Structure 1
């Protein structure tokens, strides 16, 4: 429920719902969109909505910052039981597992937990102002909400080790060269680029997109691919789309 006096524009998580997608904007500009417990709770509510009604998700941040990290004031108070509860880990894993693709549109800082939120997305685009990385060891902790297993998948073990051991922060050009970002756009064009990417996804068969994501996240190859393909081979959408394709090419 919204807090007293809160409006859609002032909510810590601003949500714009459209027919085939949802845009979620982290909106805590006074703390550079740091991720606190309230924001985590709101992300869980959004995940429940998208699990029940699958749509593309675009995640971004307000005021030229994606997310500066976990809320250090809260983090400092947390103890062993909080670590074992996996507060950020749990919601980032849930975002990663959403049925439809997740696009992170990143401007400015994406550090610590903010970087791990970006790593949980399927696609990441950014601006030339992006600064992304995991400085956790400098704060006496580890990057425990996804970086130690997602970064090696994204950039390889050697580069992941360098980033995590040293706390190095990558520039936008470095992140693009390393494969953390797939494209760079001027800040004024970032959301248009995110929507253009979502448009291309939305033009495809939704079930085929969902099954592609399921296969990409699975370790059970090729069995999972063949089972998902078997379902799609029986779908009316497959027949309709292939028929339309053949008719276009007969002209």
Structure 2
């Protein structure tokens, strides 16, 4: 069986490539299964994730050949919604590197990441209602947290597809680059994250996503943990010494 996701492991990051270029990386059951395996890897050994697609697309949606045959009970299993939520909860930041089409489930996969970088030829949208379904893997609620409500409704209800400029203006993309520069741009963002203290990043992400009613207790608790670390003392000492020069 071919591999739906290629995984390259490094000390501080993992590069995962959706590997079905012949169907524009459409997300099928095997892809979802391998995404779960990828999440398990990063839960066990937390590192930054760079998620990209082979060929000239990020992911052009779910596999329609499989989707057409799915029934009520398949929807209730939440095959993609469960793994996308697991992806969002990974300990360290995740970065979607989007080229070409990022539609339907492919767009929802990117919405679940912490950062999204796109190329000048990216197309992002949720055309599910045109196929008689809805964006059920997080699109109906994650998207409205990422872009203005009017833009989210245009995409979800009127089939609007955002190009790179519109996606950047709406805040959906953090950076737009030429296709040949996409992976390098992703590594630059990963380098910036990796320059921070890993435990501080992990706890910041966890506190960011904590329920509103848990604040400020969770903030103080996380800070208490960090106050006891050697790295906090070392980094602050280095900062003070630089100021003396």
Same fold at TM > 0.5? yes
Deviates more, 1:120-129 or 1:223-232: 223-232
Aligned partner of 1:233 in structure 2 is 227
2: CA distance between counterparts of 1:156 and 1:170?
13
Deviation of 1:157 after TM superposition, in Å, equals 2.2
1: CA distance between counterparts of 2:183 and 2:32?
23
Aligned partner of 2:167 in structure 1 is 175
2: CA distance between counterparts of 1:57 and 1:113?
19
2: CA distance between counterparts of 1:115 and 1:75?
16
Q: In angstroms, what is the RMSD of aligned CA positions?
A: 0.9
Query: TM (normalized to structure 2)?
Result: 0.97
1: CA distance between counterparts of 2:232 and 2:27?
41
2: CA distance between counterparts of 1:71 and 1:158?
28
Deviation of 1:167 after TM superposition, in Å, equals 1.6
Query: TM (normalized to structure 1)?
Result: 0.95
Unpaired segments ≥5 residues, structure 2 = none
Aligned partner of 2:194 in structure 1 is 202
**Which 4+ runs in 1 deviate beyond 4 A?**
none
Deviation of 1:28 after TM superposition, in Å, equals 0.3
Aligned partner of 2:66 in structure 1 is 74
Counterpart mapping for 1:92-171 below 5 A: 92-171=84-163
Aligned residues: 243
1: CA distance between counterparts of 2:41 and 2:12?
13
**Structure 2 residue 13 is the aligned partner of structure 1 residue 21:** yes
Report the secondary structure of 2:11's partner residue: coil
